[in-house]
Structure 1
Amino acid sequence: MGSSAQECGCKGARFCALCETTERVRKLRVEEDKHTSYKVFVYVPARQLAIPTDNLNSKSSLQEIIDETDACHSTSAENAIKIDGLTLIHDFLTEAEESEVLEMIDTVEWVQSQSGRRKQDYGPKVNFKHKKVKTDSFVGMPEYADMLLNKMSEYDVTKLGNYQPFEMCNLEYEEVKKSAIEMHQDDMWIWGNRLISINLINGSVMTLSNDSKESLCYVYMPHRSLICMADECRYEWKHGVLAHHIRGRRIALTMREAGKDFQEGGELYEKYGAELIRLGNIRVPLNKTSA
């Protein structure tokens, strides 16, 4: 393959290390960082508060965020804010559980995605623009789903229990590819209130931004941690993972539940919801590598 050929899945305004020098990317209009003037917070899970800090900015590194998060465990909570619906659980998985899940994940073929990521999708094909759903390639969730869902219920049945995933998506990030996912809000038509992501292999940062409040919040996620974004965090804040917050390889195991219209009694339950729930309860066996 020639050196000018693009070897990634990027298109439009998205790019990664593999395509950043291509003509397509060179022609892109680089937007100014609108977060430079935003008030910066770091989330401290032990206090369940986002603590304001003058020591960080919109360009802060992963290590700077880790250090400031540690420092804010004992600093004043004056002007701190609570982001309703944000939950971070350290050590959600044990080292043995993480290894077992990773072994099963890596037996499945990875598909190129955008912004330097690769992905594995378990779920329907959704046309968000035209609001259509196809289930042809949806055969169920991977076999490790039950272990994760059971642990979620055991940890906090109120916040994390009764979770019926409509989609599980494993996203692989690599530092050498400058992998990232831009600031965004997940679709609100098909996906429900609670977005779940389990951070594997290496720690990273979930960056939250609230444009109406001109606020930026860094949530440091150690590896094996779980983050849940619901309620205010889901609907009033955007979220993303920036390329300079990736070290080595990272996998985000992400789950999304059904929106209200797709749940029993909802307008789209009969058309889509019932079948998606049925498929979501099927488990796909995976071939584990031999020891």
Structure 2
Amino acid sequence: MGLPRFVRPKGVDGEKSSNLYVANCGPAVGSSLDTIASVFSAFGEVKGVYAADDSGARVIVSYTESTSAQAALKAMDGRPCPDLGGRSLHIRFSVLQLTFEAHLNDTLPVALVSSELDIPGLYLMHDFVTENEEQELLAAVDGRPWNCLSKRRVQHYGYEFCYDTRNIDTRRHLGELPSFVSLILEKISLFPNCDNPASLILDQLTVNEYPTGVGLSPHIDTHSAFEGLIFSLSLAGPCIMEFRRYSDGEWKLATSSEMKVDNLKKCSNFLRRAIYLPPRSMLLLSGEARYAWHHYILHHKIDKVNDSVIRRAVRRVSFTFRKVRRGPCQCEYPQYCDSQR
């Protein structure tokens, strides 16, 4: 998905690499990728030349054979190259990095409708709001102050969500939900599994703004914090949301330390699904989907939806509606429930 990712190798492994990290070389300093490929092909077949980062002044040259990379480094490192503007190149070995997350995403089919997922309680409604309504909602939140987290901005209404405890302080009521979401609350009753009027009295809203490439850490919304229906409206930009359900013996490992990649590698017994969320779509998590499946959004700038590559927008804004729970959770999934553990 997207461009290959490369890192510096450790120890003597670099001598076996067929990839070179080349600094002071790239479009930003006057050399096209085609020109760079032509110059380095003097030492062997070049599979490709890639931008090493966003600077435009550092590239990765990938050879078919490691002996070609060794010869190029020996001949060109620290020396001016007449064919590249006379600049001295700084060259190191590099290796292709295939992260665990990227590997999973590359092999996972992406559903376009919720019925393809086979996750009980998960529903997706396309075009839940119109384009005009979308713009009105974005203008409404942009006219209000944002709170800045490390990678995204948020707004809370009704009750503030505490990220340290992943819970709600019910003693701190921020007021009623804003009037600009009244239309959304009226339409929510159209969803399946929403025939209980009491369950639709939603009193907490979190608005998240995700810049390009920023995702969401894997989690199950805390059982004791919210009731059984969670609605999430996607605006401005698309994304892929993924879901995992772990075996009873692995859920503790999966949820520890914010689901770091090291923990994920140790987990092998789980179900995995993915769905494409287009702008203006509303997602409902209820029942098993809400209580037993982790959901998350990978930190990518480009998503692959089956055979199509889709670049994420400059921003994605989500409106997540929930109902604050007033007592302990008594769901059917005690292994995932903080009230019953």
Match of 1:84 in 2: 120
Would you say 1:169 and 2:206 are equivalent positions? yes
Gaps of 5+ in 1: 1-16, 18-31, 51-81, 264-291
Alignment-mate amino acid for residue 324 of structure 2: A
Higher mean C-alpha displacement, 235-244 vs 253-262: 253-262
Q: Which has the larger radius of gyration?
A: 2
Match of 1:106 in 2: 142
Could you tell me whether the CA contact under 8 Å between 1:40 and 1:215 is conserved in 2? no
* Distance in 1, Cα, partners of 2:183 & 2:286: 22
Alignment-mate amino acid for residue 45 of structure 1: V
Gaps of 5+ in 2: 1-53, 55-98, 248-268, 304-311, 330-341
Alignment of 1:153-168 (within 5 A): 153=189, 155-156=190-191, 158-159=193-194, 162=197, 163-168=200-205
Distance 1:103 1:233, change over 3 A: same
Distance 1:214 1:35, change over 3 A: farther
CA RMSD after TM alignment: 2.9
Could you tell me whether the CA contact under 8 Å between 2:167 and 2:222 is conserved in 1? no
Match of 1:253 in 2: 319
| Secondary structure class of the residue paired with 2:320 | strand
* Distance in 2, Cα, partners of 1:117 & 1:168: 16
Percentage of matched positions with identical amino acids: 24
Match of 1:188 in 2: 223
Count of matched residue pairs: 197
* Distance in 2, Cα, partners of 1:89 & 1:228: 8
Match of 2:155 in 1: 120
Match of 2:9 in 1: none
Match of 1:10 in 2: none
Could you tell me whether the CA contact under 8 Å between 1:41 and 1:216 is conserved in 2? no
How far residue 43 of structure 1 moved from its aligned partner, in angstroms, is: 2.6
Match of 1:207 in 2: 242
How far residue 106 of structure 1 moved from its aligned partner, in angstroms, is: 0.8
Distance 1:139 1:146, change over 3 A: same
User: Could you tell me which of 232, 246, 260 is aligned with 2:288?
Assistant: 232
1:203-251 CA-to-partner distances (Å, cap 9, x unmatched) read 1111111222522211101100000111111122100112205432110
Match of 1:144 in 2: 180
TM-score (norm 1): 0.60
Match of 2:39 in 1: none
Could you tell me whether the CA contact under 8 Å between 1:124 and 1:138 is conserved in 2? yes
* Distance in 1, Cα, partners of 2:173 & 2:158: 8
Match of 1:179 in 2: 214
Answer 1 or 2: higher relative contact order, Cα 8 Å, separation at least 6: 1
* Distance in 1, Cα, partners of 2:102 & 2:292: 16
Higher mean C-alpha displacement, 206-215 vs 130-139: 130-139
